[in-house]
Amino acid sequence: MASNNLVIVESPAKVKTIKKFLGSNYTVDASQGHVRDLPKSQMGIDVDHDYEPKYITIRGKGEILAKLRKEVKKADRIYLATDPDREGEAISWHLSKALKLDESGKKVSRITFNEISKNAVREALKNPRDIDMALVDAQQTRRILDRMVGYKISPLLWEKVKRGLSAGRVQSVALRMICDREAEIEAFIPEEYWTLEADLQSSGSGKPLTARYSGKGKSKSELKNAAECDAVIRGCRDGEFRVKEVKTSDRIRKAPLPFTTSTLQQEASKQLNFPTQKTMRIAQQLYEGVEVEGRGTIALITYLRTDSTRVSDEADLAARNYIAEHYGKEYAADAPAAGKAGQKIQDAHEAIRPIDISLSPAEVKSSLQRDQFRLYQLIWKRFTASRMRPAVYSATNVRTECGANVFQLSGSSLKFAGFMNVYTDDEEEKEPGNSALLKLTEGQVLSLKEFRKEQHFTQPPAHYTEASLVRALEEQGIGRPSTYAPTISTILARRYITREQKNLYVTEIGQVVNKIMVENFPAIVDRKFTANLETLLDSVGEGSVDWKTVVRNFYPDLAAAVETAEKNLESVKIADEESDEICDVCGRRMVIKYGPHGKFLACPGFPECRNTKPYLEKIGVNCPKCGKALVLRHSKKGRVYYGCEGSPECDFMSWARPAEKPCPRCGGYMVVRGKKLVCADRECGYSEKAPEEE
């Protein structure tokens, strides 16, 4: 008699995909994510009894568990097939506890597969194992530490700033990184520099060649002002430009590595303009299974949460065979590309890749939604490119001299496209061609046609985008693949930061929360501390560190810091500051309150009187356009700027805080940049030390 097998997965979408691969003696059902968690009403960790977590059934999961219990009774064997990471391992453990599988007398096994394909699922069923408690403990530790930070610090923020705020172990570090970058940008003082180009003509050629000044003799130098630029021009006006050196070499551009979670989020942001959360949502759909014409419900990509670039031997061979067949043998790589050495990589998973490379984007386009197609195409092209040969460029560099002044010419042309036949990105070569340069010979004299000089100013560090923040978090070891998207989504939802175009800006409320965290919980927002904690969590997952040791060392310091902050933060409270404005409904003196968009005026007679007004906070500086007072304002997304109280009649605005003192050089207005006052007109370039604050 055939045995009855129950396979429990996380999502209903997977049920449909996996059922196709298994016989009639297999039942597949879904837990629909976590079934147990810490309670929302309390911290849920028994500090007095060695930090034991108190798990409860998640509201709404009772019916799902009841259905699963019925299936368990009918089954002879149960396979827990949740996602192949520590979160999935924890869900399997919680299921075994909630369904009392230890007491059922049934054979219970854990199985994992990196892709939802017939071979992978059947192979997993042949290799069942026990639940990996080290991975479960790693997830528990992360959850407990996050809960401790959230439930100890958030109430402090509610009391001292406003309700609805939160602190988090990773989100607070991410917020600090954005605030630190904003401070760098605000304090940045542009420095002037000039570029000088010479159009040079060689005998017998039609179009002049453009050479760029690089310095004197063998030393490279920059032109800092117009006078230095003009001095070079005077020195070269009557001289001859002689070719001193012509160097030609092949330049190799390596094929990219296949996607990890982080690099997929970055590229989807750059190339498709997807927020990180959207990338993960669509990748989840492609992983779990979509309806493809002629094939039914099939999964298209491997597991989406990974920081490994490893690819299975079978997938690597299939890709190189596909490339040889469709592009030519010369395009297929001899060996797979190597990833970075020395990084802490969770190598249990492969890179993100298509399950079946022969299923090209063109073949599935009609079956996919537009965004699903675009993301699948990006993943398919990147993986295919990673199994191809490098691109080869012929690069030429020419050194010309006019007296002591050196001018360089450079160009390149593509000799062999390699992987670029399939995949290109923003870093694609944009140099001019080198065919004209190849005709130049050493000792040849070139005639000067004209000079072009241009003034530039150094640029401040770029604002973080979601893509660059993910890259920075990954580089500094903060968070893991599964945490990047939810971390950014949380600080956006709390309105600590705002997104304009692709850039992330801190809001006033974000600055207030960050200041409190930096001053009172320096360890929580310290990047190295957070990265070290991530390494410890990895060690728990490997079974080399006891999870309770991590929690025992963490909690007492956190509790002490919260206790100190509760005493010291009395004066930081931002609420109900009286204004000079009288309520025009009931006559009471209005108070300043804090809302999602910053400060506003409200009547203290609430709820009897519900009158509110915008709060225009004067900064003590008059508008350089019309002379009225400048006030602190907020954009629709909560970003701070300085505008005229006479708006909309006067359209003056400045992201940097204007200073009271006018520029002594040009008479325009100056702005505060860190500890300096700088003229708002970059071409003027005047700056001086800002007066000390009293």
570 vs 521: which has the higher pLDDT: 521
pLDDT tens readout for residues 16-28: 899 989 988 999 9
Helix boundaries (H) for 327-426: 361-364, 370-386
In 3-state terms, what secondary structure has residue 270?
Answer: helix
Matching residue, tokens 């008059």: 622
- Residues sharing a CB contact under 8 Å with residue 512, sequence separation 6 or more, in sequence order: 161, 574
Matching residue, tokens 């699903």: 372
pLDDT tens readout for residues 26-77: 999 999 999 999 999 999 999 999 999 999 999 999 999 999 999 999 999 9
Return the pLDDT at 365: 95
Please state whether beta strands 497-500 and 612-614 pair in parallel, antiparallel, or not at all (unpaired).
unpaired
Give domain 192-254+391-457's CATH number out of 3.40.50.360, 3.40.640.10, 3.40.50.800, 2.70.20.10.
2.70.20.10
Can you give 653-683 as a three-state secondary structure string?
EECCCEEEEECCCCCCEEEEECCEEEECCCC
- Topology, domain 656-694: Ubiquitin Ligase Nedd4; Chain: W; (2.20.70)
Query: Residue 473's CB: how many other CB atoms inside 10 A?
Result: 24
Residue 348 binned pLDDT confidence (cut-offs 50, 70, 90): low
What does the alpha-carbon distance between residue 407 and residue 242 come to, in Å, rounded to a whole number? 10
Q: Classify the C-alpha dihedral 492-496-499-503 as positive or negative.
A: negative
What does the alpha-carbon distance between residue 473 and residue 169 come to, in Å, rounded to a whole number? 13
**DSSP 8-state assignment for residue 163:** T
Strand partners, 497: 506
pLDDT tens readout for residues 111-157: 999 999 999 999 999 999 999 999 999 999 999 999 999 999 999 88
Report the chain's mean pLDDT, rounded to a whole number: 89
Using a cut of 0.75, tell me whether the model's pTM lies above it: yes
Does residue 303 carry a catalytic annotation? yes
Return the pLDDT at 595: 64
Q: Does domain 5-131 have CATH number 3.30.1330.20?
A: no
Query: Residue 580's CB: how many other CB atoms inside 10 A?
Result: 6
Domain ranges, ordered by start, for the chain: 5-131, 141-187+463-571, 192-254+391-457, 266-386, 656-694
Return the pLDDT at 581: 81
Worst-scoring range by mean pLDDT, 271-285, 326-340, 519-533? 326-340
pLDDT tens readout for residues 475-523: 999 988 888 999 999 998 888 998 887 899 998 889 889 999 999 999 9
Return the pLDDT at 156: 87
Rg over alpha carbons for the chain, rounded to the nearest Å, is 31
What does the alpha-carbon distance between residue 657 and residue 675 come to, in Å, rounded to a whole number? 12
Return the pLDDT at 340: 47
Return the pLDDT at 158: 83
What does the alpha-carbon distance between residue 64 and residue 223 come to, in Å, rounded to a whole number? 71
- Residues sharing a CB contact under 8 Å with residue 627, sequence separation 6 or more, in sequence order: none
Catalytic pick among 26, 213, 287, 303: 303
What does the alpha-carbon distance between residue 210 and residue 200 come to, in Å, rounded to a whole number? 6
Residues in the chain: 694
Long-range CB contacts (< 8 A, 24+ apart) of 7-14? 7/79, 7/81, 7/111, 8/68, 8/78, 8/79, 8/80, 8/81, 8/82, 8/95, 9/81, 9/82, 10/82, 10/83, 10/88, 10/91, 11/288, 13/285, 13/288, 13/289, 13/297, 14/116, 14/288, 14/289
Return the pLDDT at 685: 83
Residue 576 binned pLDDT confidence (cut-offs 50, 70, 90): low
**In the predicted structure, residue 527 carries a pLDDT above the cut 90:** yes
Return the pLDDT at 47: 95
Return the pLDDT at 645: 85
pLDDT tens readout for residues 617-664: 788 899 998 988 898 887 776 678 899 988 888 999 998 899 989 999
Strand boundaries in 31-163, DSSP class E: 36-37, 45-46, 52-53, 56-57, 77-80, 107-110
Average pLDDT over residues 545-571: 89
Return the pLDDT at 105: 85
Q: Edge-to-edge, what's the strand order for the sheet holding 658-662?
A: 658-662, 669-673, 676-679, 687-689
Q: Which H helix or E strand runs over 320?
A: helix 313-326
Long-range CB contacts (< 8 A, 24+ apart) of 644-650? 645/616, 645/618, 650/623, 650/625, 650/626
Helix boundaries (H) for 112-132: 118-126
In 3-state terms, what secondary structure has residue 539?
Answer: helix
What does the alpha-carbon distance between residue 380 and residue 321 come to, in Å, rounded to a whole number? 15
Return the pLDDT at 1: 44
What does the alpha-carbon distance between residue 96 and residue 31 come to, in Å, rounded to a whole number? 11
Q: Which H helix or E strand runs over 262?
A: helix 261-272
Omega of the bond leading into 258 within 30 degrees of 0 (cis): no
Q: Which of 265, 149, 166 is nearest to 495 (CA)?
A: 166
Query: Residue 601's CB: how many other CB atoms inside 10 A?
Result: 17
Residue 336 binned pLDDT confidence (cut-offs 50, 70, 90): low
pLDDT tens readout for residues 196-253: 999 999 876 678 999 999 999 888 899 999 999 999 999 998 889 999 999 999 999 9
CATH for 266-386 is 1.10.290.10
- Residues sharing a CB contact under 8 Å with residue 550, sequence separation 6 or more, in sequence order: 141, 145, 533, 536, 537, 540
What does the alpha-carbon distance between residue 586 and residue 445 come to, in Å, rounded to a whole number? 87
Q: Which of 481, 301, 304, 311 is nearest to 376 (CA)?
A: 301
- In percent, the amount of the chain with pLDDT more than 90 equals 68
Q: Which of 38, 39, 40, 51 is nearest to 556 (CA)?
A: 51
Q: Which two tokens stand for residue 79?
A: 């396979």
Average pLDDT over residues 438-443: 90
**In the predicted structure, residue 342 carries a pLDDT above the cut 50:** no
Give domain 141-187+463-571's CATH number out of 3.30.365.10, 1.10.460.10, 3.10.20.30, 3.30.2020.30.
1.10.460.10
Return the pLDDT at 619: 84
Q: Which two tokens stand for residue 687?
A: 């700056």
